[in-house]
Amino acid sequence: MKSMKSIKFSIVLIIMGVNLFAHAELQVIADVGGESAVRFYEAIQPEHDETAPIMPHAIPPMLSEADMLPVVSHQLSPGVLKERTMDLAGLQPIFLVGNDNMSVAWLQSKKQYLASLHAIGLVVNVDSLSALIALREIAPELTLIPTPGDDLAERMNLQHYPVLITEQGLTQ
C-alpha cells in the first residue's frame, strides 16, 4: 500500500516538473524582419475616408473606360460563324462585336432586333476610345461594354464575331 502511495506521489512530482518546463519563457529562434502586412491589403483598400493613409500601389478610386483600352481578344477575329443550337436556359442575350467593317455592318443591320431582345454588347476588339464611341453612335439604344472575349470564346468554342448568343444558341 505504501509503495502505491509513493508511486502516485512520484507521478505527481513528474507531472509538476513537466508543467514547470511548459511555462518557461519563450525564446525567439529567428526574427525575419517584422515587415508590415499592409501592402497585402492595399488592393482591397480597407479604409475609405479622408484620413486613410495614401497607399502608392493601391488601385485608383476611379478608373475610366479609356483606362481599359485597348481591348484585344487573341482567340477571336471577324469572320463567318457556323450557327449552332444550344440550350442556354436563362441566359441574358449578349452579342460580340469589334471595331472592324464586318462588325459595323452587322451592328447597323441588327440594332433594332438586338434592342428588342435587350441584348448587351461586348466589344471584344477595340483599340481606342474614339472607336468605341463610334460603335456606340451606330446603336445608341444598346449597351456596349469593352471587354476581352477570350474566356467566352474558349468556353463556347468560338473563333469569329460578330455573333449573337441567346438561350437558343449562336447566330450571326
C-alpha 25: how far from chain center: 47
Note whether 160 and 76 are within 8 A (CB). Answer: yes
Tens of pLDDT along 61-107?
677 888 889 999 999 999 999 999 999 999 999 999 999 999 999 99
Report the pLDDT value the prediction gives residue 7, as an integer from 0 to 100: 78
Question: Mean per-residue pLDDT for 12-31?
Answer: 69
Q: Per-domain residue ranges for the chain? A: 65-171
Q: Measuring CA to CA, how many Å separate 143 from each of 2, 73, 80, 119, 155? A: 93, 19, 23, 8, 23
Main-chain dihedrals φ then ψ at residue 47, nearest 5 degrees: -105, 130
C-alpha 69: how far from chain center: 17
Tell me: pLDDT of 13 over 80: no
**Residue 117 pLDDT level (bands cut at 50, 70, 90):** very high
Question: Mean per-residue pLDDT for 21-33?
Answer: 70
SS3 98: strand
Question: Mean per-residue pLDDT for 124-128?
Answer: 96
Tens of pLDDT along 138-170?
999 999 999 999 999 999 999 999 999 999 999
- Per DSSP, 66 falls in state G
CATH of domain 65-171: 3.40.30
Question: Mean per-residue pLDDT for 6-19?
Answer: 71
Cβ neighbours of residue 88 closer than 8 Å, sequence gap 6 or more: 165, 166, 167, 168, 169
